[in-house]
Amino acid sequence: MTRRVKEPALKKLSKLSIAGYGAGDAANNLAFTTATMFLLVYYTDVAGISAAAAGTLLLVVRIFDAFADVFAGRLVDRTYSKRFGKFRPFIMFGSIPLLLLSVATFSVPQLGETGTLLYAYVTYAALGLAYSLVNIPYGSLAGAMTQDPGDRAKLGSARMVGALLVGSALGIFVAPLIKPGADLQSTFTTITLAFVVIGAALYFFTVLTAKERVHRSVPNVSFKQSMDTLKTNRPLLMLCLSSFLFLTGYMALSSVQLYYLRDVLGRLDLYPVLAIVQLVMTLALAPLMPRLVRKLGKKNVYIVAGALSMVGGIIVFLAPSSMVWVGFSGLVVSLMGVMAVNIVVWALEADTVEYGEWKTGVRTEGITYALFSFTRKTGQAVGGALAAYCLAVGGYKSGVAQSADALQGIQFAAGALPAIMTILAIGVMAKYKLTDVLHAQIVGEIKARRSAGDSGTQNPTGVSTLRQPVAKHGNPT
């Protein structure tokens, strides 16, 4: 009789590791959030690119970014360093080029209509590729740090706090500067150069503190193994579709949020107030989210938060411009739902890594996160483009008082479009089968499989034959 070898349980993550992981997303968003919040405004009001041309640019480049994520995911799966692991080398060596390309993106020279547009396409595409080569490893790292649902929720909260700290700083200190007559080029040049220094420090803090601890039997994953994981991972595909729909709506709101406050409500001074409110809500949600996850489960938290965001979008769309505080309250409600979804969605994605390992016997964080990020980037591309097209259809013109049609276009992009897309996202998520209970059983079976392998009793394919206990509770395939 062969003795089973019990796999040692992983210790809970330290506060330093969790903080270090959050610092990485703060660094990511020095480039990412600056682009999502201000790039459309920069292109239309500083670089002199028309709203329609800017919308097409955002659509084309962000779809390119999505394919760059798949490339980065395969590169991650094929790479492994005995000293630094699978993910941290990309963060170490890709961070500085990423931050420098952010400077270049916000430094569009006047080269004539065609030259200016070409420069914008090239620099933004290069920024997207560099971001993929850092963000895909960063996002994949969470699943390799822990398999504990509570700790994964904490990592999701930490990255949300890191992102919101940056977003709040941009809203408080930068957004009020975006007004007619200001020297915006100098502003963006100074800010992005400062972010090179700050971002480098944050990235290297992540590298030093956020380390991989989850066992992997196959360090270098083949293309066939990656594709097998994707083909059999239905929960991942459903999560991707729901995230695509949700991100389409959220990116539309994010792209025109400044226009809504400045042009519809006539209160650009409320942008820093909104940023402070978002920061306070995030700091309140971050410690609360692990408890909500334990009580309700990640899927239910996602659905409830999405419904909250939908209600906020409806308020934004229906509120008359004269009712400033009603419209502003709608933004707050909508963004509260968005923040909760953005915290829990990363833990949901990490769960699908174990599902893929359970189905195929191979752990593929890179391509799993890459496909997830691909659909999110595609949603961001569509959402940003739709927002710009709403401006164009309404007849938005930079530097002048906007017509009623232009204001209606802004309001539709900020409220109605996010609400519609969120309803569709919730509908998909309602059919999602990978519950927390089922995930816990899958993790237990994976550990049993490894123990059997250590004791010499693993089956020749390396794939578990102990599936019946899990299937009793509903196989999500």
- Residue 472 within any structural domain of the chain: no
At residue 215, the pLDDT reads 55
At residue 348, the pLDDT reads 86
Burial class (CB in 10 A: 0-12, 13-18, 19+), 471: exposed
Q: How far apart are CA 266 and CA 268, in angstroms?
A: 6
At residue 221, the pLDDT reads 56
CB 212 within 8 A of CB 86: yes
Q: Is 335 helix (H, G, I), strand (E, B) or coil?
A: helix
At residue 222, the pLDDT reads 58
Q: What is the DSSP letter of 336?
A: H
At residue 223, the pLDDT reads 62
Q: What is the DSSP letter of 175?
A: G
Nearest CA among 288, 336, 283 for reference residue 308: 336
Task: Write out the DSSP string of 85-141.
Answer: BTTHHHHHHHHHHHHHHHHHHT-----HHHHHHHHHHHHHHHHHHHHHHHHHHHHHH
Number of domains the chain is built from: 1
- Residue 10 within any structural domain of the chain: no
The number of beta carbons lying within 10 Å of the beta carbon of residue 252 is 31
Alpha helices in 146-269 (DSSP H): 149-169, 184-209, 223-232, 234-259
Containing structural domain, residue 64: 16-211+223-434
- Residue 125 within any structural domain of the chain: yes
Nearest CA among 27, 283, 12, 290 for reference residue 138: 27
Structure tokens at 117: 């547009």
At residue 477, the pLDDT reads 35
- Residue 445 within any structural domain of the chain: no
CA distances for 85 relative to 72, 137, 186, 216, 339, angstroms: 16, 11, 40, 11, 30
- Residue 429 within any structural domain of the chain: yes
Q: What are phi and psi of 233, to 5 degrees?
A: -100, 75
Task: Write out the DSSP string of 279-292.
Answer: HHHHHHHHHHHHHH
Q: Which residue has tokens 């660094």?
A: 27
Rg (CA), the chain: 22
Q: Is 456 helix (H, G, I), strand (E, B) or coil?
A: coil
At residue 151, the pLDDT reads 78
CB 239 within 8 A of CB 430: no
Phi-psi region of 80 (alpha: psi -120 to 50; beta: other; left: phi over 0): beta
Greatest alpha-carbon span in the chain? 83
- Residue 92 within any structural domain of the chain: yes
Nearest CA among 348, 337, 288 for reference residue 312: 337
Which parts of the chain have pLDDT scores under 70?
A: 1-11, 80-81, 149, 180-181, 213-230, 365-366, 399, 453-477
- Residue 464 within any structural domain of the chain: no
At residue 467, the pLDDT reads 44
* CATH code of the domain covering residue 98: 1.20.1250.20
At residue 454, the pLDDT reads 54
- Residue 135 within any structural domain of the chain: yes
Strand partners, 424: none
Q: Is the pTM for the entire model greater than 0.85?
A: no
